[in-house]
Amino acid sequence: MLRILMVLAICITLAGCGDDQAANTEDQPIRGLRTFLIEEVEQSTVRRYPSVLQPGSLSTLSFEVSGRLKEVNLDVGQRVMEGHVLAEIDPRSLELQVEASEAALDQARSTAKNADEEAQRKSDLLEKGVTTKAEADKAQTNAETSAAQVVQAERSLQTAQENLSKAVLKAPYDGTVNSVEVQSYGNVSPGSAIATLYSTNQFETSFSVSFDVVNQLVVGKKVKVRLADNPSIVLKGFVSELGARADTVSSFPVVAKLEESDPTMKAGMAVEIAMEFSVEKGEGFTLPLSVLPFEGEIDPPENSNDTGTAKIFVYDPETKTVKEREIQIAGVRENSLIAISGLELGERVASAGVSFLRDGQKVKLLPDSE
């Protein structure tokens, strides 16, 4: 008997709870809804690509002569002007070469003078019949050989003087030191890297795009470059190179040069490249990112056409409910999505508290949405 009474009590309690839940459901207040009214058509979309600033001109500097370096007072990141002395070779050995070449030239000139006089003397004796023609020809040959040796000595002196002038390495243009490859008082050989220098007046950036995007690009297309460290700085640029071969699967390299610069710009800074394209189906509608149930919730596309799908809630004024709907996204423009199908002008899309909505839910438009 006791067991029967306990079972009846539990049943009564559960029945009471069910009635309370039903009552709560019926009494649940209608949620207020803030919406976004679709009233403008967009005909272009913006695609964005992350990248890194690179110098437009990067030069590896070296000496054309060998020797022992003097003290190197050069630092990475140091700005230099055109003609600035970057490094010097101890000139003493080169000066000795110049002195030796000068002495050799003096000797060659003296020898040439004597040979010329001897040739003239033999020629006079030949006319008088005192010497043979063979002797005269031999003297003339010696004179010509000595003259050629003078020319060779002059060239050797010129080379030695040029080598001496090459003992100083100067900046070929205004720029910033990217790296220093040597230390003070070390020996260097011709062509060995001393430092690398990049121009601060010209920057470029490289990134990769999909197949359909690269087919829409041409050299000269305008781009905008935003500095990641300072988003308020947006600079103009243009596409300067297009890769005809993909680096990876369906990923084609693109290079863009900047037309403008900023004093805060440095090689290696993160940037964002923005390029404007026509909307895929000719036109679309802009939607704030807040229309997504969870920000950034876009299903990836089935094909590599850079579009995707997303689910949103559209307000139905007749039933005063929200209906879940799938739309196609073609890209973004500034901080808005570009929807190319699934919506019509004049419709309202839920734009706040979307993650708490469900299909068919009763709602009430907030005053600022009406």
Nearest-angstrom CA–CA distance, 70 and 66: 13
Nearest-angstrom CA–CA distance, 252 and 243: 6
Residues 263-302: tens digit of each pLDDT: 888 888 999 999 887 766 556 787 888 888 765 444 444 3
The percent of residues above 70 in pLDDT, for the chain, comes to 84
Nearest to 277 by CA among 257, 253, 307, 322: 307
Q: What pLDDT score does 100 carry?
A: 94
Half-sphere exposure in the Cβ direction for 277 (13 Å, CA): 20
Nearest-angstrom CA–CA distance, 190 and 285: 63
Q: Do residues 215 and 198 lie in contact, with contact meaning Cβ atoms separated by under 8 Å?
A: no
DSSP for residue 132: -
Q: Check residues 283 and 102 and name the one with the higher pLDDT.
A: 102
Is the pLDDT at 345 greater than 70, yes or no? Answer: yes
Task: Average the pLDDT over each of 63-77, 117-131, 305-319 and give the range with the smallest value.
Answer: 305-319
pLDDT level of residue 186 (50, 70, 90 thresholds): very high
pTM of model > 0.95? no
Domains of the chain: 29-43+281-369 (2.40.420.20), 48-55+200-278 (2.40.30.170), 58-89+168-198 (2.40.50.100), 92-165 (1.10.287)
Q: What pLDDT score does 286 carry?
A: 79
Q: Check residues 81 and 248 and name the one with the higher pLDDT.
A: 81
How far from 191 is each of 76, 195, 333, CA to CA, in Å? Answer: 20, 11, 50
Residues 25-57: tens digit of each pLDDT: 445 578 888 888 888 776 667 788 999 998 888
Tokens representing 185 are: 């008082």
- Rounded to 5 degrees, what angle do the CA atoms 247, 248, 253 make? 35
How far from 352 is each of 25, 312, 336, CA to CA, in Å? Answer: 23, 11, 15
